[in-house]
Structure 1
Amino acid sequence: MIVGIGLDVVHVSRLERWEKIPGLLDRYFHPEELAAAMSRGSGATLSLAARFAAKEAFGKAIGTGLSGITLKNILVLNNHNGKPCIHLFGNALEAFEKSGGEQVHLSLTHERDNALAMVVVEGGLHGVQG
C-alpha cells in the first residue's frame, strides 16, 4: 500500500551558492554523500542537487516535511548498479516509521539547471501474500 508520494525540484544554482559557504554542505549532507558526489568531479553539484531534492521529496512522502529531521540522517547513495537508494538514521528513521512506512522507492534525474527526485513510501507490507 502506498503511504505517500513526494516530488521535489532543486535549481542547481542553489547548490552552487551553497558550495561557496564554508560548512554549509556538511550541515545538510552525510559525509558518505559528500564523498560520493565529489568523486563525480564536474558532476558533483548536479549530484548534490538531486540528493537534496530527494531529502525534500522524502519529507513530502511521509507527510510531515523535514521539520524536526536532521538532513544528514537521510543518506542518498547509489547501489552497485547505480540505482539511488535512501538510508535512514535517527530522527529520519523515527519519522519514517511513525508514518507507517516500511519501504522507500527513489528516482532521481538532473540536467544542467535542475535536479528532480520522486519518492514513494510503501507501508502495510507485512502479512501481504504475493
Structure 2
Amino acid sequence: MIAGIGVDIVDVPRFGRQLERTPALHTRLFTEHERDLPLRSLAARFAAKEAIAKALGAPAGMNWQDCSIIKDAAGDPQVHVTGTVAATAALKGITCWHLSLSHDGDMAIAMVVAER
C-alpha cells in the first residue's frame, strides 16, 4: 500500500551556485560517500531527499545526513535511511522505498514512492 509520494526538481546550475555561496551546505546535505559525486548527481540526490521528505509529510527536524542515495549491485539508486528519517518512516509504517532519478539538460528530478 502506498503511504506517500514525493517529487522534486532541481536546476543544476542554480544548485551549484548555492553550494559555492554556502560551502557548509555540502556537508549539511550530503553524507560522506555522496560528497565527491559530480554536481549533476548531487542535484539529483538533493531532489531525492526533498522528495523523500515530501513522501514523509515534510517532518520537522529531518536530518539530511539520515538519508542517503546509494546504488545497488546493478547500479540502480536506492534509498537508505537512518536516524530521524528512519524513525519517521517507522512511525508511518514504511517498509519499502521506490526511487527514480533523471537528468535532462540543466535539470535533475526525483520521484519517490513510500510503501507500507
TM-score, length-normalised on structure 2? 0.92
Give the total of aligned pairs: 115
User: After the TM superposition, which parts of structure 1 deviate over 6 Å for at least 4 consecutive aligned residues?
Assistant: none
Partner of residue 72, structure 1: 65
Partner of residue 15, structure 2: 15
Partner of residue 122, structure 1: 115
1:85 alignment partner, one of 43, 65, 78: 78
Partner of residue 62, structure 1: 56
Q: 1:111 to 1:66 in 2, by over 3 A?
A: farther
Tell which structure's C-alpha radius of gyration is larger.
1
Q: CA RMSD in A?
A: 1.2
Q: Is the 8 A contact 1:18 1:25 kept in 2?
A: no
Distance of 1:11 and 1:23 partners within structure 2: 19
Distance of 2:10 and 2:59 partners within structure 1: 15
TM-score, length-normalised on structure 1? 0.83
> Cα offset for 1:98?
1.2
1:99 alignment partner, one of 81, 92, 96: 92
State, as a whole percentage, how many aligned pairs show the same letter: 41
> Cα offset for 1:66?
4.7
Partner of residue 126, structure 1: none
Q: 1:29 to 1:66 in 2, by over 3 A?
A: farther
Q: 1:117 to 1:66 in 2, by over 3 A?
A: farther
User: Aligned with 1:34: secondary structure?
Assistant: coil
For structure 2, the 5+ residue unaligned runs are: none
User: What amino acid maps onto 2:93 in structure 1?
Assistant: G
